[in-house]
């Protein structure tokens, strides 16, 4: 007999919810959560559909968070089976969203159902925060729900985000934080001219090079117990008219910081400007902060999840802050303890995305055990 978690995962994969579309995924979740006593709110923002569901009115409030949207499939002809037709093959379940993160959402729901069947009078409350805007701009999704919850004084105590965090096997990695991301678009101004008469022009590439070398060599911080040192990387450099005999009038340089809690966005910006000014450049610099870093130090939530992983798999998990940004950065502003945990991530965003079938019910069991550790 097919497990309830697997069946629900397949039902969700079959809905082609390419960001920012939800395509009825959240209606499916509401149909399962309302009979369990959850009060469900649909929060629409632009094209994005969000769900906030809560059972109970007391603290602590344990929240499961995730996203129903998925990235585009890429060339469908390169998939071995249709990306929105869930297909079991060679011990794996294939389909867009199988790993990122419809299995986690299904596991959330079934774990909660099983927990309530045994502990209907549990302590505290359980919540679900689900969006269809995690894989997109992330401007109308989790951040909007968090702002509304904060405005009405709704306090979150613990949050588990179902991102695919495991590396080699289910349970080996919990994300207890993420680095911040901040991009800069730097325009260094020169004077365009004929390349044979450099004395009549100013080459912005030559002017920028010493400053770039110093920025590359700069040690921004040493990191800390949870983070590697902050990284500064150039992603694009563009200058010139396309002609080989013209000194360009400006150079455009795109760069990005991935920064830890050992630095602040404001502090990094100030240091970049100081280096550029030191080299006497004429420039414009536009900053875009994609997300601030967040960190949940080892505590009651990570301990409860680690104990659940150990009981289910025998694995001693590790805490990690590697990888890109996630919606955890928004939730951390209204919740003191936020971690991410989900299935192996090797196939996410790829052709033939999949999850091993043997991991699906253990994932659900880990979520259920975590609820037991926190609310009983």
- Residues serving a catalytic function are 69, 134
- If one counts every other C-beta atom within 10 angstroms of the C-beta of residue 72, the result is 11
Distance CA 173, CA 167 (A): 7
Enter the DSSP assignment of 21.
Answer: -
Contact 127/53 with Cβ under 8 angstroms? yes
**Rounded alpha-carbon distances, angstroms, from residue 323 to 39, 40, 83, 88, 267:** 34, 32, 25, 29, 22
Question: What is d(CA 339, CA 159) in angstroms, rounded to the nearest whole number?
Answer: 6
- Give residues with Cβ within 8 angstroms of 201, minimum separation 6: 190, 191, 192, 193, 194, 247
Within 10 angstroms of residue 181's Cβ, the number of other Cβ atoms is 19
Quote the crossing angle between the two packed helices 360-375 and 300-313, to the nearest 10°.
140
User: What is the rounded CA–CA span in Å between residue 9 and residue 367?
Assistant: 15
Do 222 and 262 form a contact (C-beta atoms < 8 A)?
yes
CA-CA-CA-CA torsion sign (22, 27, 30, 31): negative
* 176 vs 328: CA distance, rounded Å: 9
Strand partners, 158: 62, 337
Q: What is the 3-state secondary structure (H, E, C) of 180-196?
A: EEEEEEEEEECECEECC
Task: Please state whether the peptide bond connecting residue 156 to the residue before it is cis, i.e. omega within 30 degrees of 0.
Answer: no
C-alpha span between 13 and 68 (Å, rounded): 9
Give the C-alpha separation, 343 to 274, whole Å. Answer: 44
What does DSSP assign to residue 324?
S
């Amino acid at each position: 007999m097919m497990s309830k978690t697997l069946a629900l995962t397949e039902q969700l994969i079959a809905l082609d919810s390419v960001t920012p579309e939800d395509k009825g995924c959240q209606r499916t979740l509401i149909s399962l959560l309302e009979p369990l006593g959850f009060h469900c709110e649909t929060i629409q923002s632009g094209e994005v559909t969000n769900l906030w569901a809560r059972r109970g009115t007391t603290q602590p409030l344990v929240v499961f968070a995730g996203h129903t949207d998925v990235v585009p499939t890429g060339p469908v002809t390169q998939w071995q089976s249709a990306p929105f037709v869930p297909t079991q093959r060679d011990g794996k379940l294939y389909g867009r969203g199988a790993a990122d993160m419809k299995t986690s959402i299904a596991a959330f729901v079934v774990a909660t159902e099983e927990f309530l069947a045994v502990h209907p009078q549990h302590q505290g409350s359980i919540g679900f925060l689900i969006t269809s805007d995690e894989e997109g701009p992330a401007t109308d999704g989790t951040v909007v729900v968090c702002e509304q919850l904060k405005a009405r004084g709704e306090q979150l105590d613990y949050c588990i985000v179902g991102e695919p965090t495991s590396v080699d096997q289910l349970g080996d990695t919990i994300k207890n934080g993420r680095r911040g991301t901040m991009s800069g678009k730097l325009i260094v101004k020169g004077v365009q001219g004929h390349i044979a008469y450099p004395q009549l022009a100013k080459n912005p590439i030559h002017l920028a090079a010493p400053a770039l070398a110093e920025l590359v060599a700069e040690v921004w911080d040493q990191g800390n117990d949870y983070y590697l040192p902050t990284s500064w990387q150039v992603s694009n450099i563009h200058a010139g008219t396309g002609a080989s005999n013209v000194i360009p009038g400006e150079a455009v340089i795109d760069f990005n910081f991935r920064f830890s809690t050992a630095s602040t966005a404001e502090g990094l910006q100030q240091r970049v400007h100081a280096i550029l000014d030191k080299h006497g450049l004429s420039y414009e610099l536009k900053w875009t902060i994609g997300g601030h870093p967040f960190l949940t130090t080892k505590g009651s939530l990570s301990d409860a999840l680690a104990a659940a992983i150990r009981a289910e798999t025998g694995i001693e998990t590790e805490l990690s802050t590697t990888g890109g940004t996630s919606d955890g950065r928004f939730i951390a502003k209204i919740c003191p303890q936020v971690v991410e945990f989900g299935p192996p991530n090797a196939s996410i965003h790829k052709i033939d995305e999949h999850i091993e079938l043997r991991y699906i019910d253990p994932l659900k069991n880990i979520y259920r055990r975590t609820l037991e550790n926190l609310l009983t």
